Structure 1
Amino acid sequence: MSTVRVAGVDLAAEAAGTALAVLRVEAGGREPGSVALEHLRLGVDDDTLIAETRTVALIGIDCAFGWPVDFVDFVARQASGARLASDDTGDLAWRRRLAHRETDRVVTERTGARPLSVATDRLGMTALRCAVLLDRLAGDGRVVDRAGEHPSAVVEVYPAMALRVWGLARPGYKLTTDARAALIADLRRAAPWLELGDHEPLMRASADALDAVLAALVALAHRAGHSVPPTAAQRDRARVEGWVAIPTVGLAELGRVP
């Protein structure tokens, strides 16, 4: 029986808030324990992340992989000192277009989740680290496609959105141990094929650790072909801005993926 590994990363601007999860996946049916949480740790720096993912087939990273094309173009025009374009109106619709990526809009349209703006929110600090990390992964010989299309070694994920898709949304799970414990119980019921082992206490104690596990599950769905791809018209932007993998199957269905 062949074995593959997928990883999930809850990325923060600093190592202290970064978690890494690795799932070991046994080929074949999803009997209890056929997907096992093999590794889970907090405080992960870039060197450790690169070293500990060399044997995994795919890494799901919870962070924006790029910035909105329109935002980047505007900043370049403004920095040049030239007159702005005629469509640089400064109104609300224009600001929203610059603040959000195409994938952010697709996530909201399909799931109702509202990703933070990498251009105007604090997420930008983490995205700076992510840009360097993706470059280092490419330098390590990995295929890095910000759209996440095969054979990319990385895919952008959004755990809170995935919970909505899977019917497991738990408001407050990032804030309280009780909410995380309830979410983990929901996860166990929805995915009896997933073996958490002795890592469950860390998932209850840390929202970062729990999000890393969820990121790995989204990566598992994406690797099996069960996520929303960019359309032909969206692909060029996705390869610049990034593209969030929206799961298209529930956890029960994911458990039947060979």
Structure 2
Amino acid sequence: MLTLGVDLAAADERTAMATIEWLSDRAVVRDVVLDVGDAQIVKASQDADKVGLDCPLGWPEPFVALVTAHRSGHVTIADGDAARWRRRLAYRLTDEVVRETTGIIPLSVAADRIAHAAFRCAGLLAMLAAAGHDVDRRGDGKIVEVYPAAALCRWGLTYRGYKGRGQKAQHADLVTALCAAAPWLELGAFEALCRRSHDAFDAVVAALNARAAAIGRATRPDDEQRQVAGVEGWIALPTGPLSDLVDGTGAGGRRS
């Protein structure tokens, strides 16, 4: 099995992509690339069994309805808890699930700068679909939405404070901690790049998260959530330890 992880930014710069090959008892990082364009992502996806995109795959349904209503006239303000109403405009159902499950508050695709990456992602999803890939925003097809910070949290690793200037030491420590927690993961020639670039590191984590989704070791929307998730997107949170990725086949999955 090959999994592809993409840490998607608004532009090619700061976008990273990692490919992991899964063997019977280990996982080998075969490639890590920085400053990646859309065409490169589509091409690499051809050989991947599962692609983890670190970017919202859609917008909150109430937000889309609000913008549509506002364009043609005036919006209807919900009665009752105004703060809760505004939060539902800003955050998707899957964002709220992540908040409840991990305590992490995802960036709002409706009200934060991550929307710029989501604009790009919308075009990328169209390109992937045109190339023949099954693009299901619930993660049922080849593409799945991942969230490296939440995945690291679920795996018991540091998930805050390793990005940005002045965080090189903490970032390097996190790479060391990941290697210790997953001794079966072979970074090989790409270890130095992962230590130097948190974009590269996040791409590797996205590829690990994609594996969890591929073998049934990640959350999926339930029957009540599926319709909304199909429009807004769904973050596949790992449901077990890192060792699950090589030690078990998962529900309906396979080992390699």
TM range (shorter): over 0.9
Shift of 1:49: 1.1
CA separation in 1, counterparts of 2:89 and 2:238?
A: 26
1:172/1:86 Cα in 2 relative to 1: closer, same or farther (>3 Å)? closer
- Deviation of residue 181 (structure 1)? 1.2
Which of 227, 230, 233 is equivalent to 2:221? 230
Query: Which ranges in structure 2 are unaligned for 5 or more consecutive residues?
Result: 249-254
Partner of 2:37: 45
RMSD of the alignment, in Å?
A: 1.3
Where in structure 2 are the equivalents of 1:148-227 lying within 5 Å?
A: 148-149=139-140, 152-175=141-164, 176-227=167-218
In structure 1, the residue matched to 2:7 is: 10
1:90 deviates by: 9.2
Q: SS at the partner of 2:230?
A: helix
State the alpha-carbon separation in 2 of the partners of residues 177 and 245 from structure 1. 28
Taking the aligned partners of 1:213 and 1:23, their CA distance within structure 2 comes to: 8
Letter matched to residue 40 of structure 1: V
Conserved 8 A contact 2:150-2:159: no
Deviation at 1:172, TM superposition (A): 2.0
- Count of residues in correspondence between the two structures: 247
Paired position in structure 2 for 1:22 = 19
Kindly indicate whether the alpha-carbon contact (under 8 Å) linking 2:149 and 2:160 is maintained by their aligned counterparts in 1: no
Are 1:65 and 2:75 matched, yes or no? no
Which deviates more from structure 2 when the two are superposed, residues 182-191 or residues 89-98? 89-98
The answer as to whether partners of 2:12 and 2:37 remain within 8 angstroms in 1 is: yes
The whole-number CA distance in structure 1 between the counterparts of 2:244 and 2:131 is: 34
How far apart are residue 252 of structure 1 and its match?
2.1
Output the amino acid matched with 1:25. Answer: W
Identity of aligned residues (%): 45
1:170–1:179 contact (8 Å) kept in structure 2: no
| 1:137-187 deviations in Å (ceiling 9; x for gaps) | 0000000000001xx110000000111100001532113221121111111
* Structure 1 position 85, deviation (Å): 2.4
**2:120 corresponds to which of 118, 125, 129:** 129
Please give the alpha-carbon distance, in whole angstroms, between the structure 1 residues aligned to 2:41 and 2:77: 44
1:41-120 aligned at under 5 Å gives the runs 41-81=33-73, 83-85=74-76, 87=78, 91-120=82-111
TM-score by length of structure 2 reads 0.93
Q: 1:88 to 1:128 in 2, by over 3 A?
A: farther
Q: Is the 8 A contact 1:191 1:255 kept in 2?
A: no
Query: Match of 1:162, as an amino acid?
Result: A
